[in-house]
Amino acid sequence: MLTRFHSDLAKRFREDLLLSGKQPSTIACYRNAIAHLAEHFACSPEKLSEAQVRQYVLLRRQQLQLGSMRPIVGALKFFFRVTVPRDWPTLQAVRLPKSNTLPKVLVPERCWQLIDATVAPHLQVIFRAMYSCGLRGVDVRHLRPQDVDADRMMLRVCTTKGHRQREVPLPQATLDAFRAHWATHRNPNWLFPATQRNTPASKADQPISAKTIQRGFTKVTESLGWQDSGLTPHTLRHSYATAMLDAGVSLKVLQGYLGHKNLQATEVYLHLTRLGDERGRQIVAQIMNGDVAEQGLS
């Protein structure tokens, strides 16, 4: 935490976030956002004026993409509504447009190419799990040995977005990879424990960090010459979703596997399915070639 963000104030902000039910990753992101605000003005954020915060929001809006701007706006609104209450019209009026950008996906062949090219064994298992089970980064990081149900071939996802537990089918190859990896450390709490200095993985009290996963993903994409493709670890989850739809899994079932609260969040993948796109192209080709009767498609 940056020094301009006073320790007592930072502690209170963190407690407020905890009480509101925010996830650890969100808490860290929000605290960093307020710390950056304090550093920008070289002043404790509780001493800032509405005009200064307005200036900061406009500046960051010019500098950042929408995806990076959303957590900053969320942090500012929470901080000045709960921790340091301010009745400021500026923050009440801030709205960010919804992004219509489709997520990037990889076809199955590319996903397995990426997984096979991952040198670090534990990261290879992580990427396999993210793709074969449709997991978010936070999901895979917080997997516990007891979440693996080998009898039913299901994986329980407990620490997930919105605190919604779910179960997803567990492929045999992924189960085998889990077993082989866990046998290397036998940590009772984490399937993927953090690697800490002077602490063996078997006794680590924290899971692997998001930064470790991101660095590993960047390394493998660079080795494949994909560094400019805009891919992230979350691409594996997107690719899982489109692969499931291509295989005939219903949208409603896929919604449950992904843990989406709203079906609209799952429907975005309909625009990315490979087989659906091929069928669409066939229909267009038939119509343009005059192969379909005027009364409609057969």
Please indicate whether residue 22 is annotated as part of the active site: no
**Of 181, 237, 240, 257, which residue is the catalytic one?**
237
Please indicate whether residue 269 is annotated as part of the active site: yes
**Of 4, 77, 234, 274, which residue is the catalytic one?**
234
**Of 136, 141, 181, 238, which residue is the catalytic one?**
136
**Of 128, 141, 238, 260, which residue is the catalytic one?**
260
Please indicate whether residue 161 is annotated as part of the active site: yes
**Of 161, 185, 219, 274, which residue is the catalytic one?**
161
Please indicate whether residue 237 is annotated as part of the active site: yes
Task: Quickly list DSSP for the chain.
Answer: --TTS-HHHHHHHHHHHHHTT--HHHHHHHHHHHHHHHHHHTS-GGG--HHHHHHHHHHHHHHS-HHHHHHHHHHHHHIIIIIS----HHHHH---PPP-PPPP---HHHHHHHHHH--SHHHHHHHHHHHHHT--HHHHHT--GGGEETTTTEEEE-S-GGG--EEEE--HHHHHHHHHHHTTT--SS-SSB--BTTB-GGG-SSBPPHHHHHHHHHHHHHHTT-TTS---THHHHHHHHHHHHHTT--HHHHHHHHT-SSHHHHHGGGGT-HHHHHHHHHHHHHHHHT-S-TT---
Active site residues: 136, 161, 234, 237, 260, 269
